[in-house]
Amino acid sequence: MTAKPLEVVLALGGGAARGLAHIGIIQVLEAHNVVIRGIAGTSIGAIVGGLHAAGKLDTYEHFIRQLDAKAMLRMLDPVIPRSGLLGGNRVVKRLHEFVGDTQIQDLPLPFCAIATNLKTGAEVVLKEGSLVDAIRASFAIPGVFTPMKIEETWLVDGGVSTPVPIQPARQLIPGLPVIAVNLNNVDLVFKDKPRRKPKSPKELAAEKELGRIERLLRRMGGEGERRPGLLASISDSLTHLEHRIARFQIAADEPDLLLEPPVYGVGLFDFHRGKAIIEAGEKCARDAIANGAISRLLARQHPTPRQSD
């Protein structure tokens, strides 16, 4: 007899490139008889979750695994700093290539993206309308990407209000267990596996070029070389902020299972390290399976009938 599956809702947290670990987690869970019935996503969690809900996660993974530092550079579109360093238009264009004009309410899998009202700081749950617009609002990291306006409201990254969207996931499909993924545990440091072959001169040059925008901004601001770089300061500050907020929210509303892949130290735009980050997510999910966490959830969802006396 075929074993009954574990049906869950995912709460995928924010964390820029660290969120590529979500891909590995989803793949391992689904390979072990876990059926994802809905997804709530913050920031990169909205990107990965939205693409999975649209049936395009495999396409996105293939794109990420082919991405090198030079291609990552081409994804960035610097603007004159007003409300953000990057316009995000190139990322949006790529998302449109993946999902077109898909509307959230038309997705085969229930999904919501989490953003933050820039004026009030309140959580905004986006459950209908353009999937790409909702994702764009959700990943509008303050100071990095310009805010997104939806229905006369300026929205920024969901991580400002809800780093791990546990409650929105519960409300998406009430009654199902929630597996939450937190990317901001600063105690779990990312360890990239050594490459089998050395990087080529072109690869090394491209990775150095990723710091071009940061170096330019540092010179414009007159910062000394010993000070932390602009993007590194934003990245680390947001990580620590979201880590503290997430801890309070997780304590107040514990998910049925919390997964925390070791990805602290991955930079905002380290998408060219995708393979190793995805593997960190795979290992995290496999560890949860090995230690019986998935089996315990399954036992709660499908309790074994008691034998009659």
Q: Which residues are catalytic?
A: 43, 157
The string of DSSP letters for 86-139 reads E--HHHHHHHHHHHTT-BGGG-SS-EEEEEEETTT--EEEE-SSBHHHHHHHHT
Q: Let me know how many helices (H) and strands (E) the chain has, helices first.
A: 12, 10
Distance of alpha carbon 179 from alpha carbon 232, whole angstroms: 30
Strands 153-157 and 148-150: antiparallel
The CA angle 36-107-23, to the nearest 5 degrees, is: 45
- The widest CA-to-CA distance across the chain, in whole angstroms, is 81
The tokens for 103 are 């509307």
Residue partners of 165: CB distance under 8 A and separation at least 6: 11, 12, 13, 40, 41, 42, 45, 112, 114, 158
Q: How many CA atoms lie within 13 A of 309 on its CB side?
A: 0
List residues bridging with 143 in a β-sheet. Answer: 84
**157 has which bridge partners?**
115
Contact status, residue 260 vs residue 284, Cβ threshold 8 Å: yes
